[in-house]
Amino acid sequence: MALAAAAWRVGSIAVARGASLGRYQSPKPPAAPAFARVPRLADQPGYGLRLLRLLSTEDEGSAPKPKEGKGGRKRRSRGKARGKAGNEKPAAKPSGGKKSAEGSGPTSNLWKMISAIEDAREAAVEGDVVSGEVAHEGGENALVPTDHGAALRQLVAVPLRSQPLLPGILLPVVVKDPKTLESIREMKDRGQAYVGTFFHRKDEVDVATDEESLSDASLEGKEFDLSDDLSELHEVGSLAQVHQVSDGFGEGGHVLLMAHRRVRRVGVVSQGPPTVMVEHLKDLEYDRNDDVIRATTMEVVQCIKQLLLVSPIYKEQVQYLSRNNYYIHDPSRIADLGATLCSVEGNDIQEILEELDVKTRLDRTLHLLKKEVELNKIQAKISKQVEDTINDKQRKYFLMEQLKSIKKELGMEKDDKSALTSKFQEKLDSFRDLAPEEVVKAIEEELQKLSDLQSASPEFNVTRTYLDWLTSIPWGTYTEDKLDVGFAKGVLDEDHYGLDDVKERILEFIAVATLKGSAQGKILCLVGPPGVGKTSIGKSIARALGRKYYRFSVGGLSDVAEIKGHRRTYIGAMPGKLVQCLKTSGTGNPLVLIDEIDKLGRGATGDPASALLELLDPEQNSGFVDHYLDVPLDLSKVLFMCTANVLDTIPAPLLDRMEVIRISGYISLEKFAIARRYLEPEALEATGVPPEKTEITDAAMRRLIDEYCRESGVRNLKNHVEKVYRKLALELVRRGAHEDGAEMSDQIVVDGDSLSSYLGPPAFTTERIWEQTPVGVVMGLAWTSMGGSTLYVEASVVDEGEGKGSITTTGSLGDVMKESALIAFACARDCLRRRDPESDFFQTSRVHIHVPAGATPKDGPSAGCTMITALLSLALGRGALPDLAMTGEVTLTGRILPVGGIKEKVIAARRSGVKKIILPKDNLRDVDELAVEVKEGLEVIFVETIDQVLDVAFPKNE
């Protein structure tokens, strides 16, 4: 039926074209025109059948059977065709059941259709003109004979923007014009659908103004007003079969087109949908067996192969089309296929499309292909270069990723984000009830932040480190204090000899804590010369109390951040020492020893002393805020202890908050005890010397203390004892004592005489320069940060004569000491007047006072009474009492004022073998506090005036 209608339409169009090329009206079809009138169809056996099969697979039953005969010739005349149109009978169903069965297969069976078309094309090439084809209702796909004999066909025109469609090529096209799309759909519904595709003349498209035109693909099949500008489309296009129609996104639809042959547009039929009249074009005659053509074809095929190796885009299409040798032997098609594979301008392809001479077409295609192959080679080279550069990085990246996953598999992966988060979450859960609310909130916020961050971002690591710190603080975890006075005493005595003041204070602390039930932190400051055990007693105290011990030295510290931490905004920011201390000790109440607090530096960017103040002040430290941690820390339960050598340099506000405990140097006796009880066992252990095989006699030990280690502390003594034992170890090894079964009959004994063979000559024989001080020389007592020492004041007359009475001083004396020399000179004159009114010694003598050793700077007023005694000795011509030492400040009128460092001075005096010392009366209390051993064998005379001093120094009965 459809075929009958189509045939009728052919006639109608012929009429319409005769009058005008206006819009085609579709009247009710009368009787179908006779298909049998196509004359050449009869000359091409099977052609009509195949074509019918191709064009009317859907409605084969009603397809007219082509009648071979004269009808075709008549249709070549338009007038005749018109005249006959109304009387045509529907064409009969084509004969040949087998072929029909093939033809009625599914439309997707492209291969069959394509081969049918191919056959038809070949047939058309062989014959002269295909005329009198099927016309479908609606005016599309109609072939009409032209005046000059070529077959005309009416097709819906689909403009192409990206590139022309060459025969044999499949191309998906977007059709936006709803009428065109509708028309294509209708045709497809009825059976086979064909359209004419025409490439848009590119250079005439105004790409800049039309947004849609920016993408060629978006313009495919765009609504196109043919009547407005037909010249925008190339005249030569292709007849394409519609394979598939599907809905596109938004407006329009996708149409899969397969081009079959070249056509030329010869006229316009209608505008909605744009329908044009086309004539078929065929290749010019050529000899397929021509060597040049065959060689060129083979070269083209070779190029295509090369191209497919590097660019697999068209591989599928080529595979599809070359199946069953479809193209293999057709130079024309191979040329078309080759050209399509090239990424050239649409106009170049259009040239190929318009080229009907197969030889020239092959040449052109080969040219394009060669260029394409070269281009691809360059592209591959560039791509390889780029790949090489990034390959190394990629390799590393992949290896790292592999390593990560291996680690994860083995359970070694710690950095995985979720593992991290759950680790922190676990930690948080363990102290959630104990930590302050603020802390829990801060941790939860940070955890949330962590889970939102990319693990590669720098912020992730900052947050992670912060969480690490936050969760490693022992929130609410405290050790229980051992509040047992007896135990504590045992521990303290076990570790240290003497140091009774400190030990007593600690026992008091424990007693108070026992009664109160809580041990509130109190800052103890141990002040004393080096090596007296300030640091080591701190450790013992922690042991006695059952607290963790943490020590940090602030000597030379000038950066506040060391104490309070850096702000988190800085790269590499760290919390302060206290946070580190809590983390390390794992408890909230350790004993923290701040060493060398007197040597605290002064920072340019802040004052560390003020930061320490905040830390140590019991009023403030319950809410101490570290800059890094940014949450309050309760340090009120921490027991702080500080050590210092002198008090003067400790900032006053800091000192004010401390409880100072002075540790003076040790006397020889104490040193002896320390050496025997503590230092020797330590040295034996350190050197591995068997105790039974060696001995240091008491005499040797005393000599060691008095002649080698005279300083207040015992650090040097410890080193010397160790040195002796190292030498003993060497001797033992030399004697072979270490060998198995070795019998050593004799013990190695170090006595007073042999000591120097181990340690070399003594550093000091004695501090005493004279056994009996000569006239003008008196022994004084001094105190330094190293402990006490004896010092001599020497006076001599350098010039005499009327009015020459004056004084000069030497010996690195400070201002105060120089002033005190002047005072001494004036005071001495007074004293002399009282004792020997006749004498004009001080009026006529230029006196020189020197205090050895000259290289040691000295200062202070405490040598006042010593200077006066020395001057008087000179003036009176009498030596002072032997074995006498003195200390005391003197006023101009001869009053004696108290001085500091009494214990050290007393110790120094005893060390020097002094029998009698003169001290200011106001220092009586200090002397009373001294242990009996310290004062043992020493006569202390307390004085208030200089005359009392002189009375002692120059006894009357002598």
Ligand X SMILES: Nc1ncnc2c1ncn2[C@@H]1O[C@H](COP(=O)(O)OP(=O)(O)OP(=O)(O)O)[C@@H](O)[C@H]1O
Q: In a 10 Å sphere around its CB, with 0-12 CB exposed, 13-18 middle and 19+ buried, how is residue 900 labelled?
A: middle
* Contact flag: residue 829 with ligand X (CB under 6 A): no
* Contact flag: residue 553 with ligand X (CB under 6 A): no
Q: Which is nearer to ligand X, 271 or 785 (CB)?
A: 785
* Contact flag: residue 164 with ligand X (CB under 6 A): no
Written as six digits, the tokens of 165 are 């469609």
Q: Which is nearer to ligand X, 460 or 672 (CB)?
A: 672
Provide the 3-class DSSP secondary structure of residue 924: helix
Q: Which is nearer to ligand X, 638 or 642 (CB)?
A: 642
Q: Which is nearer to ligand X, 72 or 665 (CB)?
A: 665
Residues in the chain: 958
Question: CB of 761: closest distance to ligand X in angstroms?
Answer: 25
Question: CB of 539: closest distance to ligand X in angstroms?
Answer: 8
Q: Which is nearer to ligand X, 426 or 500 (CB)?
A: 500
Please enumerate in sequence order all residues whose Cβ is within 8 A of that of 750, keeping only pairs 6 or more positions apart, or say none: 694, 695, 696, 697, 700, 724, 728, 758
Rounded to whole angstroms, the Cα distance separating 625 from 615 reads 9
* Contact flag: residue 621 with ligand X (CB under 6 A): no
Provide the 3-class DSSP secondary structure of residue 367: helix
Residue nearest to ligand X (CB): 533
Q: Which is nearer to ligand X, 363 or 904 (CB)?
A: 904
* Contact flag: residue 33 with ligand X (CB under 6 A): no
Written as six digits, the tokens of 477 are 């975890």
Site for ligand X in 658-697 (CB under 6 A): 674, 678
The DSSP output letter for 219 is: H
Q: Is 709 in contact with 760 (CB distance < 8 Å)?
A: no
* Contact flag: residue 787 with ligand X (CB under 6 A): no
Rounded to whole angstroms, the Cα distance separating 942 from 923 reads 8
Q: Which is nearer to ligand X, 156 or 597 (CB)?
A: 597
Q: In a 10 Å sphere around its CB, with 0-12 CB exposed, 13-18 middle and 19+ buried, how is residue 218 labelled?
A: middle
Q: Is 666 in contact with 788 (CB distance < 8 Å)?
A: no
Q: Which is nearer to ligand X, 139 or 533 (CB)?
A: 533
* Contact flag: residue 497 with ligand X (CB under 6 A): yes
Q: Which is nearer to ligand X, 42 or 660 (CB)?
A: 660
Question: CB of 534: closest distance to ligand X in angstroms?
Answer: 3
Q: By CB under 6 A, name the one of 143, 144, 483, 532 that touches ligand X.
A: 532
Using the rule CB under 6 A, give the single segment among 25-33, 177-185, 713-721, 872-880 that binds ligand X.
713-721
* Contact flag: residue 505 with ligand X (CB under 6 A): no
Please enumerate in sequence order all residues whose Cβ is within 8 A of that of 133, keeping only pairs 6 or more positions apart, or say none: 10, 38, 51, 141, 142, 143, 151, 153
Using the rule CB under 6 A, give the single segment among 105-113, 166-174, 401-409, 710-718 that binds ligand X.
710-718
Using the rule CB under 6 A, give the single segment among 26-34, 323-331, 712-720, 764-772 that binds ligand X.
712-720
Provide the 3-class DSSP secondary structure of residue 685: helix
Of 183, 585, 712, 862, which residue is the catalytic one? 862
* Contact flag: residue 599 with ligand X (CB under 6 A): no
Question: CB of 673: closest distance to ligand X in angstroms?
Answer: 8
Of 359, 548, 905, 935, which residue is the catalytic one? 905
DSSP secondary structure letters along 291-360: HHHHHHHHHHHHHHHHHHHH-GGGHHHHHHHHGGGTTTT-HHHHHHHHHHHS---HHHHHHHHH---HHH
Which amino acid belongs to residue 510?
I
**Residue ranges in 836-941 assigned as alpha helix (H):** 841-844, 864-876, 902-911, 924-929, 932-935
Q: How far is CA 749 from CA 678, 699, 701, 869, in A?
A: 19, 11, 12, 47
* Contact flag: residue 530 with ligand X (CB under 6 A): yes
Written as six digits, the tokens of 266 are 């010869």
Using the rule CB under 6 A, give the single segment among 328-336, 492-500, 720-728, 916-924 that binds ligand X.
492-500
Q: Which is nearer to ligand X, 718 or 910 (CB)?
A: 718
Question: CB of 661: closest distance to ligand X in angstroms?
Answer: 12
Using the rule CB under 6 A, give the single segment among 76-84, 124-132, 287-295, 494-502 that binds ligand X.
494-502
Q: Has 383 been annotated as catalytic?
A: no
Instruction: Name residue, tokens 């190339």.
Output: 234
Q: By CB under 6 A, name the one of 159, 533, 811, 894 that touches ligand X.
A: 533
Question: CB of 506: closest distance to ligand X in angstroms?
Answer: 14
Q: Is 129 in contact with 103 (CB distance < 8 Å)?
A: no
Q: By CB under 6 A, name the one of 171, 714, 782, 871 that touches ligand X.
A: 714
Q: Which is nearer to ligand X, 62 or 553 (CB)?
A: 553
* Contact flag: residue 531 with ligand X (CB under 6 A): yes
Q: Is 352 in contact with 361 (CB distance < 8 Å)?
A: yes
Q: Which is nearer to ligand X, 481 or 598 (CB)?
A: 598
Provide the 3-class DSSP secondary structure of residue 617: coil
Q: In a 10 Å sphere around its CB, with 0-12 CB exposed, 13-18 middle and 19+ buried, how is residue 572 labelled?
A: exposed
Judged by CB under 6 A, how many residues of this single chain contact ligand X?
Answer: 19
* Contact flag: residue 716 with ligand X (CB under 6 A): no
Written as six digits, the tokens of 330 are 């057709």
Using the rule CB under 6 A, give the single segment among 332-340, 524-532, 747-755, 882-890 that binds ligand X.
524-532
146 phi and psi angles, rounded to 5 deg: -95, 170
Q: Is 222 in contact with 191 (CB distance < 8 Å)?
A: no
Q: By CB under 6 A, name the one of 534, 547, 720, 903 that touches ligand X.
A: 534
Q: Is 27 in contact with 79 (CB distance < 8 Å)?
A: no
Q: Is 765 in contact with 747 (CB distance < 8 Å)?
A: no
Site for ligand X in 630-649 (CB under 6 A): 643, 645
Closest CA to 918 of 945, 879, 878: 945
* Contact flag: residue 718 with ligand X (CB under 6 A): yes
Rounded to whole angstroms, the Cα distance separating 52 from 46 reads 10
Q: By CB under 6 A, name the one of 535, 622, 719, 844 that touches ligand X.
A: 535
First-to-last alpha carbon distance for the chain, in angstroms, is 166
Question: CB of 537: closest distance to ligand X in angstroms?
Answer: 7
Sign of the CA dihedral 703, 704, 708, 714?
A: negative
Question: CB of 596: closest distance to ligand X in angstroms?
Answer: 7
Rounded to whole angstroms, the Cα distance separating 488 from 92 reads 125
Question: CB of 558: closest distance to ligand X in angstroms?
Answer: 20
Q: Which is nearer to ligand X, 311 or 535 (CB)?
A: 535
Q: Has 183 been annotated as catalytic?
A: no
Question: CB of 876: closest distance to ligand X in angstroms?
Answer: 44
Using the rule CB under 6 A, give the single segment among 132-140, 490-498, 613-621, 727-735 that binds ligand X.
490-498
Using the rule CB under 6 A, give the single segment among 138-146, 529-537, 870-878, 888-896 that binds ligand X.
529-537
Question: CB of 532: closest distance to ligand X in angstroms?
Answer: 4
Provide the 3-class DSSP secondary structure of residue 866: helix
* Contact flag: residue 489 with ligand X (CB under 6 A): no
Q: In a 10 Å sphere around its CB, with 0-12 CB exposed, 13-18 middle and 19+ buried, how is residue 214 labelled?
A: exposed
* Contact flag: residue 906 with ligand X (CB under 6 A): no
Using the rule CB under 6 A, give the single segment among 26-34, 432-440, 631-639, 714-722 that binds ligand X.
714-722
Q: Give the residue numbers marked as catalytic.
A: 862, 905
Which residues are near ligand X by CB under 6 A?
A: 496-499, 528, 530-536, 643, 645, 674, 678, 714-715, 718
